[in-house]
Amino acid sequence: MAEITFREALRQTLREALLGDERVVLMGEDIGAYGGSYGVTRGLLEEFGPDRVRDTPISESAVVGAGIGAAMGGLRPVVELMTINFSFLAFDQIINNASKLHYMSGGQISVPLVVRMASGGGSQLSSQHSHSLEGWYAHVPGLKVVVPATPYDARGLLKTALRDENPVIFIEHTALYAMKGEVPEEEYRVPFGQASVHRPGRDVTIVGYSGSVHQSLRAAAMLAEEGLEAEVIDLRTLRPLDIDTVVESVKKTNRAVVVEDDWRTGGFAGEISSLIQERAFDYLDAPVARVCGADVPMPYNKRLETAALPSEEQIVQAVKGMS
Amino acid sequence: MISEVVMPQMGADMQEGTILRWLKREGDPVRRGEIIAEIETDKANVEIEAYESGVLRRILLPEGTTVPVGQVIAVIAAPEDDISRYLPVRQAGEREAAAAAAGVAAHKPAAVPERPAAAAEAPPAEAGRVRASPAARRLAGEMGVNLSRVQGTGPDGRILRRDIEAAKAPVAEAVPPAAVPAEAAAAPAMSRMRQAIARRMTQSKREAPHYYLTMDIDMTEAERLRRQLNEAAEGEVHISVNDVIVKAVARALRRHPIFNSWFVDGQAQQQQALNIGVAVALEEGLIAPAILDCGQKSLADIARAGRDLAERARSGVLKAEEYSGATFTVSNLGMFKVETLIAIIPPPQTAILGVGAVRKVPAVQDGEIVVRERMKVALSADHRVTDGALGARFLAEIRNFLENPISLLV
Amino acid sequence: MTTRARSRAVRKQPDRGQLADLLRRMMLIRRFEEKAAEMYARRKIGGFLHLYIGQEAVAVGAISTLGPSDYIVSHYREHGHALARGLEPGPLMAELFGRATGVSRGRGGSMHLFDVKRGFMGGYAIVGGHMPLAVGLALASSYLKNGRIVLNIFGDGAVNQGEFHESLNLASVWKLPVVFLCENNLYGMGTDVRRVSAEPEIHKRACGYNIPAERVDGMDLLAVREAARRAVEWARGGKGPYFLEAVTYRFRGHSMADPEFYRDKAEVERWKAQDPILRYRRHLEGEGLISEKETRSLEEGVEAAINEAVRFADESPEPPPEALYEYVYKEGK
């Protein structure tokens, strides 16, 4: 077992994919000569050449569309969008083309495309560079949405994504790139639709994904000091969503808190809450609580920004409010 | 070959169109692609073309008619084709019939199925956890019902609010009711009166903190006076024990008007009139309609009024204020030999007197054992309005009047 | 012989059969579209219907120069393209009727026709939104070195969309084998292209991306075919994309709901006088390459084929409601 960073786990996985399958092609802004704006693709251009690691113009729509077209034409492209914030420019391609091609062609066309993007706020990058809109993609039938929270999952889920015949939106929280974690040397994969329980507990279920998993774990530590044992669940993929694991947990704890960075109103936490309520109604001792980002454009000022994002304290408060 | 000319669908949201002009007449030859009519839609005027060549054999609807999209408005056919089934149409009703005859296909959207959900969960309730809805739990808490003994009639055996209402057992009993089987819902529904009584009594017990005072009253003098009065009346009027009690209570209420209040909007409002409710047993239940204005009535008046009230109550022809205007109630179950009746205050009243039977009992008087007639009463009163001291004085007043009944003759 | 020399040789000998086939294809498109209009008016077809009547020479002229494994990525006025490519009228009509036997199994409708075996990769409803897909397919071909080029067809309405510019740029900078074919029928729905385009001579825009371009008379089948040949040769030769602007005209409105307030009838009549089918037919008859009898026989054959297509569509079943969720995902390994 090696301890490597989230970033390194992704890089290694991409490299292995390039080595193992001629059809794999990477495309994105500054992924080649620059080494990737988050360093994920460092060294790959040098090793595999410009035909396989392609720097693109700033042209999100055409680049994602070209990725879709290339997938239609037999390649297995991996498009990197520098951040989720720029992906809006490619919304038309992702939603009107990628997610629908298999369906509207009556099954003739498949789009084995992976679109990777960095997501999340908290670095004072202000409102246009701080979105966490995993939920918007998870809303769309025809897409798969993957949100790893650890290096182990980053590698395992990316491997699965690279083999999926459907368009996969693979979202990496910027705060996690430098995070270290144990990653086995042996071959393994993490399937989609399988949440993982990071920490067992019997008093409350805390559900998170991506960055919010770690916040939830820190909140759990704080709760433990007060004798409350929280079970922390990492969803790992939002579509397909493993709600069964969450429900099983809630049956045990009778309380649930959902944590996500995204804006509270209309966020995916609402979907998870609704599912818990539907499936575990008789096991709830309190309404499902949500700890989410504030309904504001992300401010620049540090304190304001912190206030706009979920915190461990808020999670702890939410839990105590239902005990 | 026959080509039906229909009011065309010219845009996804078009519902109907109006025939503006026929550009061809019946009998004219037409070529495929030729414009044969002009129609008006809500967006614009549009030309209709012939889809086949032939003869415009029949025009079914004249200029100016508005028809729904899809309806046949003319027929193009070869001269030898039989088009007898296409009849020209003049009125709306006929139009419909013609449309049906012409076989206009109905447009039916396919039923959209529900996403096949994962098999519905029906996990058994875990040991120690009862499946009950939040509403049921709340009500169970209020009504003191033990959830684990209630049978749920909801999905997967979930206990719902209605199950709690059905399972309500008397509060005093330690023995919980037997589990109410699902069929309990099918048992004869409570009469509306019973339901109303249930609601009111529940509300009273829930909202009014009751306190109770009992007293043993010597009715010997009152009974002697009553018998004398009835003998003297020679059948013109019959005064019952309760009539005497009602009169005594009316006199006492004059001196203690706080007991003649209604509790409304969080406060006690003393009422002017002395409307005393008296219990009348009906088949459907016990009601207590009021003898109105007892303060102005003599003993004989009260007697007559009481009888009349009871009769009308049994026939169901009481006035609204008799039904609901009581300011104080006297509930007498003495005729059933009940010794003590501790009653529930009927809201919005703030007190009620429960009356037991008059019994002959031995008593000591001047050192000797004598037979006296005694009767137990219980005052239930609303502690938001009065307290034991006031209640005791009020009760003492009633006893005074009853033990010195001559005062009741005025 | 090199490919170039062979094609030149072929050009010298007019192949009567082939030329007649071009005429037949145009007639097939015309009759299909007329029939589709009728079926729409009779409510057999729902949603939107965008007819190709008047533009037949562009589809047939351009697509006839492609190889069997080349790709076509088209927009929503695509029935003509599909028929020119050889998709059968029956399954096409069935798709318009929404039946399970339709080319897209009833899931796509008029604007989303697909036939992967014939390289017909859709049918898209977002103006300009399909252009990056064409670039991507060309990227795959170029990368896999399989020689397949891409014909990307779009209208004058697409040339101001961001994705048009992005696609031209990307195809050019990566030297991808895309033939960008703009069918300029002068109106983007109800808007004259000159009112909204800084450069209404559309082919001139290509120079901003270093892409060779030409404009051709879209009502002249043979002119379109010649120009398309040049474009296809260029792309197939690995020289990068080529841009063609075919000026044409749709004789009907933008869609079935269009009352055509924005253009006057005189203009429509002027263009109808240049009907590409009549023009080509007269040319063939004039050159003695086809007889009136043969033409009539072609017409009858087309008529029968279209009637058969309607019958096939009419008798086909609809997709069952239980199949609603089919094809949302491809369940693979």
Q: Where in chain B is the domain with CATH 3.30.559.10?
A: 196-409
Written as one string, the DSSP assignment of B363-374 is: EEETTEEEEEEE
CB distance B69 to B8 below 8 Å: yes
> Would you call B12 and C261 a contact, using CB atoms and an 8 Å cutoff?
no
Tell me the percentage of chain C whose pLDDT exceeds 90.
91
List chains adjacent to chain A, taking adjacency as at least 3 C-beta pairs closer than 8 Å: B, C
Q: Cα separations (Å) of C236 from A140, B293, C20, C240?
A: 38, 111, 27, 8
Report the C-alpha gap between A154 and A177 in whole angstroms.
10
**B38 closest CA partner among B26, B24, B20:** B20
> Would you call C322 and B69 a contact, using CB atoms and an 8 Å cutoff?
no
pLDDT at B10: 83
- For residue C100, pLDDT over 90 is answered with yes
Q: Which fold has domain B3-101?
A: OB fold (Dihydrolipoamide Acetyltransferase, E2P) (2.40.50)
- For residue A55, pLDDT over 80 is answered with yes
Of the ranges A122-136, A152-166, A267-281, which one carries the lowest mean pLDDT score?
Answer: A122-136
Q: Cα separations (Å) of B363 from B218, B224, B360, B366, B372?
A: 10, 17, 9, 10, 6
Of the two residues B145 and C101, the one the predictor is more confident about is C101
pLDDT tens track for A201-214: 999 999 999 999 99
Selecting from A51, A66, A165 the residue whose C-beta is nearest the C-beta of C332 gives A165
Q: How many CA atoms lie within 13 A of B356 on its CB side?
A: 20
> Would you call A142 and C329 a contact, using CB atoms and an 8 Å cutoff?
yes
Of the ranges A258-272, B190-204, B350-364, C72-86, which one carries the lowest mean pLDDT score?
Answer: B190-204
**C256 closest CA partner among C38, C50, C29:** C50
Q: Cα separations (Å) of C215 from C61, C183, C221, C272?
A: 14, 10, 14, 20
Is domain C16-311 classified as CATH 3.40.50.970? yes
- For residue A309, pLDDT over 60 is answered with yes
Q: C46 at the B interface (CB within 8 A)? A: yes
Q: Which CATH architecture has domain A2-183?
A: 3-Layer(aba) Sandwich (3.40)
DSSP designation for B309: H
Q: How far is A240 from chain B (nearest CA, A)?
A: 14
> Amino acid letter at A177?
Y
Written as one string, the DSSP assignment of B240-300 is: -HHHHHHHHHHHHHHH-GGGGEEEETTEEEE-SS--EEE-EE-SS-EE-PEETTGGG--HH
Q: Which CATH architecture has domain B134-187?
A: Irregular (4.10)
Burial of B351 per CB tally in 10 Å (0-12, 13-18, 19+): buried
Tell me the percentage of chain A whose pLDDT exceeds 70.
100
* Close Cβ partners of A207 (under 8 Å, ≥ 6 residues apart): A216, A233, A235, A246, A256, A257, A258, A259, A272
pLDDT at C11: 56
Tell me if residue B141 falls in helix, strand or coil: helix
User: A2-183 and A196-320: same fold?
Assistant: yes
Report the C-alpha gap between A143 and A164 in whole angstroms.
11
Q: Which ipTM was obtained for this model?
A: 0.90
Active site residues of A: 60, 129
Tell me the percentage of chain C whose pLDDT exceeds 70.
95
Substitution target in B129, B130, B156, B163 with the highest count of A β-carbons within 10 Å is B129
Of the two residues C326 and B148, the one the predictor is more confident about is C326
Of the two residues C293 and B315, the one the predictor is more confident about is C293
Active site residue B301: no
Q: C257 at the B interface (CB within 8 A)? A: yes
- For residue C281, pLDDT over 80 is answered with yes
Domain A196-320: give its CATH code.
3.40.50.920
pLDDT at B139: 85
The domain segmentation of chain C, as residue ranges, is: 16-311
> Would you call B156 and A282 a contact, using CB atoms and an 8 Å cutoff?
yes
The domain segmentation of chain A, as residue ranges, is: 2-183, 196-320
Please report which confidence band the pLDDT of residue C4 belongs to, taking 50, 70 and 90 as the band edges: low
* CA A248, A253, A254, A255 torsion-angle sign: negative
- For residue A104, pLDDT over 90 is answered with yes
Map tokens 């006076």 to a residue.
Answer: B225
Q: B112 at the C interface (CB within 8 A)? A: yes
Report the C-alpha gap between A183 and B405 in whole angstroms.
101
What residues 118-157 of chain A have any CB closer than 8 A to a CB of chain C? 141-142, 144
Q: How far is B129 from chain A (nearest CA, A)?
A: 8
Q: What is the mean pLDDT of residues A284-309?
A: 94
> Would you call C325 and B14 a contact, using CB atoms and an 8 Å cutoff?
no
Residue of A nearest to C111 (CA): A104
CB distance C333 to C58 below 8 Å: no
Chain A residues lying within 8 Å of C143, measured CB to CB: 25, 51, 70, 75
Selecting from A66, A72, A144 the residue whose C-beta is nearest the C-beta of C121 gives A72
CB distance A206 to A232 below 8 Å: yes
Q: C273 at the B interface (CB within 8 A)? A: no
* Close Cβ partners of C11 (under 8 Å, ≥ 6 residues apart): none
**A237 closest CA partner among A315, A130, A131, A160:** A160
pLDDT at B408: 87
- How do the pLDDT tens digits run along chain B, 410 residues long? 899 999 998 877 788 899 999 999 999 999 999 999 999 887 778 889 999 999 999 999 999 999 999 999 999 999 999 988 887 765 444 444 444 444 444 344 444 444 443 333 444 445 567 888 888 888 888 888 888 888 888 888 888 888 888 887 544 433 444 444 444 444 566 666 677 778 888 889 989 999 999 999 999 999 999 999 999 988 888 999 999 999 999 999 999 999 999 998 888 999 989 999 998 888 777 888 899 999 889 999 999 999 999 888 887 778 777 877 899 999 998 988 999 999 999 988 999 999 999 999 999 989 999 999 999 999 999 999 999 999 999 999 999 999 999 988 87
Q: What is the mean pLDDT of residues C75-89?
A: 98
According to CATH, the superfamily of the domain at B196-409 is: Chloramphenicol acetyltransferase-like domain (3.30.559.10)
Burial letters B196-211, b for 16+ CB under 10 A, else e: ebeeeeeebeeebebe
Q: How far is B144 from chain A (nearest CA, A)?
A: 19
pLDDT at B177: 42
Q: Which residues of B touch A (CB under 8 A)?
A: 121, 123, 125-126, 129, 131-133, 156, 158
Please report which confidence band the pLDDT of residue C5 belongs to, taking 50, 70 and 90 as the band edges: low
Report the C-alpha gap between B78 and B3 in whole angstroms.
9
* Close Cβ partners of C177 (under 8 Å, ≥ 6 residues apart): C138, C141, C142, C148, C149, C150, C235, C236, C238, C240, C241
